[in-house]
Every structure is written in C-alpha cells, then in structure tokens.
Chains A and B, each alone.
Chain A
C-alpha cells in the first residue's frame, strides 16, 4: 500500500478547489498541492445542462484559474475515508495520503427518491459529466419525444431549459405547490410557471411519480400519485442534492447538513478546511447555518479556505444565495432573503405585465430581491446587499426600472467607480 506525503491536499477538484489552489500559491509559492478527483478530466459541473442543450459542444472549462502546473491532480480516484486527527486520507486505490493541511471540496450528490422503477434504462440523475455522457448515449440510441423531469428545483429547471433548447416535449412534476420555492416568492413562481407553459412545458405541481413503468425493459412512462399515467421516453430525477459527506461519517469532523465550518472555512479539526457545495456556512443576512450550493460562493469560499490554509487569516463574510434562470425569453433572478419570515422586513413590489420586481429590506438596507423580465441591474442590487448600504430615501426608487448607478449618492457612485481604477 503506497503512501504519499503532501503539504496541501485538495479532496475534489472543481471550482472551490481551483480557487483554493490559486490562493494557496499566492501565499506560498513553494508549497506542493496535490488534488484528488473522482472525475476523469477537468470540466465545469454546471455546464452539463448547457452542453446538453447544445449551447457549447461540451462542459469544458476554459478559465485561467486552472492553468496551474504546480497542482498535481490524481484523476479518477475517490477519497473513501478521512482520519482527521491523524491527517490521513484513504483513496479507493488503497493509497494513503498524509497531509499538513487539507481542503474537503467533494461537492454534492443527487438525492434519489425511492420510486419503483428508478433503475430502468432511461431514468437518470443529472449532476455530473458522466450523466451527460449517459443521457447523450441514450438519446443517440433511442427515439425520444417525451421527457419527464421530476423536481422543480434549480437542477430540474436548468435541465428543463436544456431539453427545451433541444426541442423535446417536457413535463415537469413537482411535489410542492410551486416551483423554485427557495429561490422565488409565490409571485415569482407564478411568472416562472407561466414562462414554462408558454415555452410548451406541461407543469404539474402537488404531485409526484410513484412508479416508473417500462416497455421491453426501457422507460415508457410514469404513474403519478393521483393515478395519472404520463408517457415518457426519458426521465430525470432532480428532487435535490445533498452534500457529499457520507464518506466522512467516521472522520472525526463535525457534520451538520454539510461539513460545519467557521468563518475561516475551517472545520472542527484544525488544519482541515471545507468549501463549496459540501460546506455548511452561515447565511450572509440571517446568520442561519446552511449549505448554499452555488458557483459564486464556491469561488469565494475556496479563496478564503486557500488563504487560511497557507497561513493568512482571512474571513468569509457568509453565504449569499443568488441565482438566475431563463425560460423561453424570460429571465428570473433572485438574491438573499426573498420570503421574509416576519413583518420586521419591509417589502416593496411591482408587478406589471410580464415584469416583476420585489425588494426586501431590513432596517433600511436591501437584503433580498426577485426580478423577472428585466434583470439588467441585478448585479448592482447584489452589490447593495453585500455592502449593507443604508438606502434611506433611495428605497422609494428601487421599483423604478431606470434605477441604476445614477440613483446612488454621487459620492458613493464616484467611490465605486474609482475603486475600479477609473476616475470620474
């Protein structure tokens, strides 16, 4: 059984690890970094739906953050156990890796519902590169007209976008009364449903698949809870993901829903860090502990983890959920608190034709928004949330579609632009 010794170990090699590697090397140019990846090659995980939709030939990632020769990657190898106190990771190949500092960035795994027939040919999950290959192989081999997506969460919607791009007939089945319940408010979900229907999608809520039915060993349809039979040649199970932490159950790390980390992205064991979809952090606004499994937070957490691993104390300010989907020609974006829990929050909203804006404020500061139709200034609103800028009288103008940088106080506006190395 072989053993390796390394200063920095990255378990999982996707976006959080890429940025951690860069941060480590900014601080410690000499430190050797070893990464272990279950994948066979480098790719961008959220790109698989766009590759399926044909917008790019494949899920390749082109960013220069990964052009780093000082990271050695062991591809196709899976970490199966961690002994935190001993600083050892065991791989499926039997190798042991002894490390000084480690980052756990093993991402998430799909939740597979216990539905009869879920193993049938034609039923897939869709979160990894290999899922894309399997779906493409299936589409090349068999005639497919009807696609069923089980789950109206983010992955379900992104997968739906892809199948629409490819021209399939899609049915979306969601158990909850509305779609994207975490990302949107009730009105936003209505807009989303309308956009889906206009794009030709059949949306079924408050219902679920009780069994998948085959014909000659291959998926033929699904029986729903209310008894309806739905024809389907291909189905995607997208009811959700959970942090990939099963392999850590005996590791000695504190686990919640994900790996518990502090404001340095450090776990309960000193020298071991976690970032990305596997890490449980604090919500930027509410302070509530949660897993925010989105690319931008994986970048930020990876950077913070890398700096701290290399000895520079850097704090992570907390996770800010944000996301955007586009169905038909309707973009929908949201960020922060969109379903305020009580009336200490102030809500401003305007719904007009196919456009909708909603802003959530707390103590005169923006803490969340939903935008449908016009999302052009979404980044500015995200910025206002992150900066915790007190809006005072400005808040009355948020609903105006012309709201932009010009609405901000001149001094602040100039400061912002100068911050970007440009004088005004």
Chain B
C-alpha cells in the first residue's frame, strides 16, 4: 500500500499536516496536541505551495532508498516495504536529510532523531489521507 499524490486535487488546506501531528502526538487529541504538548510533534507530511499549485508530500518509501544506505546506524530500515526510522538507534547525524531527493526527511524536534512518514504503522488508512477533503491523497 502506498500514499498517492494527486496535486490537481490539492487545495492547500493543510489538514493533512494537522491530522499527522495529532496522530503522532502523545495524547492523540487535537486540542491537547496543539496546546499542551511541547515540543509539538512535526508533521511528517508537508504541503508545498506556490501560486495556485500545491501538493502534500511525504516519504515515498523508495524501492532503493538512499536514506537507508546512507544511515550509519541502521536506524533507517525497511519493514514490509515501509521505510522507518528507529528513533532509539537514530543519532541525528542528518545524513538521511542529505540523501532524500524529495526533501521528505526532517530534523526531529529533539535533535537526537529525525522525523519522517511511517505510514502510521501500516494499520489502515493514514489520517492524512482519510481527512483529505478532496482526495488529493489516496491510499492504494
């Protein structure tokens, strides 16, 4: 299963970013995630916008993933096709950030580890897709 991007349908509302933050917050509650949890989790999907064009972009879970190859700890790894960062093993060397051709890996809010899309554990449709009002993201 993959998240597909349909930029023609994106209206740049950034609901995907918000729902991603909620999903990866400690409480899983929107108000708590935004008002009480510090540091606030980073959205692992980012909307890029320019003029009337916009799209939501997250890790593409590449078949040959340079972030995995260039990871010096093996924290960046693949499980059932999904590229994941094991935050316990990550040292925040940022080589994956340097390696991602999409710019889809970010420094974490704490510098010890990086942050990227985990496809929400592969359990059902990720909220970024589920809450997209216009099917600019689909999960197939």
Chain A residues engaging chain B, CB cutoff 8 angstroms? 15, 19, 44, 46-47, 50, 55-56, 60-65, 295-296, 299, 322-324, 326, 329, 331, 333, 335, 375-380, 382-383, 402, 404-407, 410, 416-417, 420-424
12 contacts between A and B (CB under 8 A): A44-B72, A55-B92, A62-B73, A376-B97, A377-B103, A378-B103, A382-B99, A382-B101, A402-B48, A406-B49, A421-B63, A424-B4
Is B71's CB under 8 angstroms from A63's CB?
yes
Contact between B112 and A55, CB atoms less than 8 A apart: yes
Q: Which B residues lie within 8 Å of A46 (CB)?
A: 72, 93
State the majority secondary structure of interface residues on A: mixed
Number of contacting residues on B, CB 8 A?
A: 48
Q: Once the chains are docked, how many angstroms separate the CA of A407 from the CA of B111?
A: 28
Q: Which residue of B lies closest to A423 (CB)?
A: B4
Top-4 shortest CB links A-B: A63-B74, A62-B74, A420-B60, A383-B101
Structural contact, B74 and A331, CB atoms closer than 8 A: no
B62: which A residues are within 8 A, CB to CB?
Answer: 420-421
Other-chain contact of A402, B4, B50, B53 (Cβ < 8 Å) = B50
Q: Once the chains bind, are B102 and A326 in contact (CB under 8 Å)?
A: no
Contacting residue for A333 out of B7, B61, B94, CB 8 A: B94
B32 within 8 A of A: no
Assess whether A47 is in contact with B72, with CB atoms less than 8 Å apart.
yes
Residue of A whose beta carbon sits closest to that of B50: A406
Q: Across the interface, do B2 and A380 meet the contact criterion of CB distance under 8 Å?
A: no
Q: Do A63 and B68 touch (CB < 8 A)? A: yes
B13 shortest CB reach to chain A, Å: 16
What A residues does B94 contact at CB under 8 A?
A: 324, 326, 331, 333, 375
Q: Known contacts A326-B94, A422-B60: does B89 contact A379 (CB below 8 Å)?
A: no
Contact of B107 with A by CB under 8 A: yes
Residue B95 lies at the interface, judged by CB distance under 8 Å to chain A? yes
User: What distance in Å separates the Cβ of B50 from its nearest Cβ neighbour in chain A?
Assistant: 5
Complex alpha-carbon distance, A196 and B125, angstroms: 45
In the complex, what residues of A have CB within 8 A of residue B98's CB? 296, 322-324, 333, 335, 375, 378-379, 382
Residue of A19, A421, A424 near B6 (CB, 8 A) is A424
Contacts of B97 in A (CB 8 A): 324, 333, 375-376, 378-379
Partner of A424, one of B7, B61, B73, B101: B7
> Which residue numbers of B lie inside 8 Å of A, CB to CB?
2-7, 48-50, 53-55, 57, 60-63, 66, 68-75, 77-78, 86, 89, 91-103, 105-107, 111-112
B72 x A380 contact (CB < 8 A):
no
Q: Which chain B residues border A404 with CB–CB below 8 Å? A: 48, 57, 103
Residues of A within 8 A of B3 (CB): 422
**Other A-B pairs beyond A62-B77, A63-B71, A422-B5, 11, CB < 8 Å:** A44-B72, A47-B91, A62-B73, A376-B103, A379-B99, A379-B105, A404-B57, A405-B48, A406-B48, A420-B62, A420-B102
Q: Closest residue to B68 on the A side, CB-wise?
A: A63
Contact A62/B111 with A383-B101, A407-B50, A424-B6 known, Cβ cut-off 8 Å: no
A1 CB to nearest B CB, Å: 38
- A62-B77, A382-B98 given; A56·B72 CB < 8 A: no
Contact assessment for A326 and B92 in the assembled complex, using a CB-CB cutoff below 8 Å:
yes
| A406: B residues at CB distance < 8 A | 48-50, 53-55
CA distance A367 to B53 in the complex (A): 28
In the complex, how many angstroms separate the beta carbon of A316 from the nearest chain B beta carbon?
A: 15
How far is A65 from B76 in the complex, measured between Cα atoms in Å?
Answer: 12
Contact B107 A299, beta carbon cutoff 8 Å: no
Is A50 a contact of B4 with CB atoms below 8 Å? no
List, in ascending order, chain B residues with CB within 8 A of A65's CB. 69
Residues of chain A with a CB closer than 8 A to B2's CB: 421-422
